[in-house]
């Protein structure tokens, strides 16, 4: 547990400001190395304050959005205008307020229901392969949350997706609303150059303690699998 990079804050607002500053730095470094910055966004409630901070003029204008490529770590299998959609939340809080070219925003294809969830997962994998090529998927940054049950992205306890080693994107069914979701699998999540996991509120504390325990069971607390990316994962924790 001593190797875990855990950064604690009193409030989610304080945490979000610091994470936003870190993203500004990471984006500049990635653009200097390769001319672009690739980020996979998280859904849920916790990242909202971060996205609003990134969209604020003081932070927004420090990022060259013309060189940013946006992906998603998971998505609920609902249309993009559904209130539960991660894409909708990201657009309302961030993407609708920054000059990122539309063709550089890559949402998971859940908006039309022209295909079933498994086909949609394969379509998003093709999108990723078209962008990254045939080798390992390596995002500059993956943003993730932590559920009270220890899940991250849409990798839930006891999910067969936790053992997936070939597909980069899969459809899953979980005891959640909505139950059907698309999610990146562990290889592309763990393979990112940097991983930021955000956990806010007292209801996440027990899950975090289990995830960071030396003998953490990945099947019970899937976020514990991220610790394999030792030195590249940061746990951002807010009490409130």
73 contact partners, CB below 8 Å, separation of at least 6: 40, 41, 42, 43, 142, 143, 144, 153, 183, 184, 189
Q: Judging by DSSP bridges, how do beta strands 141-145 and 74-76 pair with one another?
A: unpaired
| The pLDDT value given to residue 114 | 54
Burial of 169 (0-12, 13-18, 19+ CB in 10 A): buried
pLDDT tens readout for residues 176-186: 999 999 999 99
**Residue among 43, 51, 232, 220 at smallest CA distance from 148:** 220
- Separation in Å, CA 4 to CA 81, 224, 227, 231: 38, 11, 8, 8
- β-pair partners for 172: 181
For residue 2, what pLDDT is reported?
45
172 φ, ψ (degrees, to nearest 5): -135, 160
The most distant pair of C-alpha atoms in the chain lies apart, rounded to whole Å, by 48
Torsion over CA: 180, 175, 224, 219 (sign): negative
Q: What is the mean pLDDT of residues 200-216?
A: 96
212 C-beta neighbours (distance < 10 Å), count? 17
Q: Do the bridges between strand 233-238 and strand 5-9 make them parallel or antiparallel, or are there none, so unpaired?
A: parallel
The owner of tokens 């390596």 is 138
Domain ranges for the chain: 5-238
Assign a CATH topology to domain 5-238. Rossmann fold (3.40.50)
Q: How confident is the model at residue 131 (pLDDT cuts 50, 70, 90)?
A: very high
The share of the chain scoring above pLDDT 90, in percent, equals 94
Give the predicted TM-score (pTM) of the model: 0.96
Strand partners, 43: none
* Tokens coding 126: 């093709």
Say yes or no to pLDDT of 22 above 70.
yes
Distance CA 238, CA 8 (A): 6
* Residue 113: per-residue pLDDT: 56
Tokens at residue 2, please?
Answer: 């001593």
């Amino acid at each position: 547990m001593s190797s875990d990079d855990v950064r604690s804050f009193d409030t989610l607002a304080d945490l979000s400001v610091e994470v936003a500053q870190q993203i500004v730095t990471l984006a500049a470094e990635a653009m200097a190395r390769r001319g672009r910055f690739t980020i996979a966004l998280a859904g849920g409630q916790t990242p909202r304050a971060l996205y609003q901070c990134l969209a604020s003029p003081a932070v927004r204008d420090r990022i060259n959005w013309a060189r940013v490529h946006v992906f998603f770590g998971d998505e609920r299998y609902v249309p993009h205008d559904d209130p539960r959609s991660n894409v909708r939340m990201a657009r309302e809080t961030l993407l609708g307020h920054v000059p990122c070219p539309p063709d550089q925003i890559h949402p998971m294809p859940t908006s039309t229901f022209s295909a079933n969830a498994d086909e949609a997962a394969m379509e998003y994998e093709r999108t990723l392969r078209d962008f990254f090529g045939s080798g390992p998927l390596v995002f500059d940054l993956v943003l993730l949350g932590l559920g009270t049950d220890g899940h991250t992205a849409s990798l839930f306890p006891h999910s067969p997706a936790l053992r997936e080693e070939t597909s980069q994107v899969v459809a899953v069914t979980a005891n959640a609303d909505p139950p059907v979701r698309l999610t990146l699998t562990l290889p592309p999540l763990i393979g990112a150059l940097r991983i930021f996991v955000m956990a806010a509120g007292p209801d996440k504390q027990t899950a975090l303690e289990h995830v960071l325990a030396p003998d953490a069971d990945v099947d019970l607390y899937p976020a514990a699998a991220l610790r394999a990316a030792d030195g590249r994962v940061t746990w951002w924790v807010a009490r409130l």
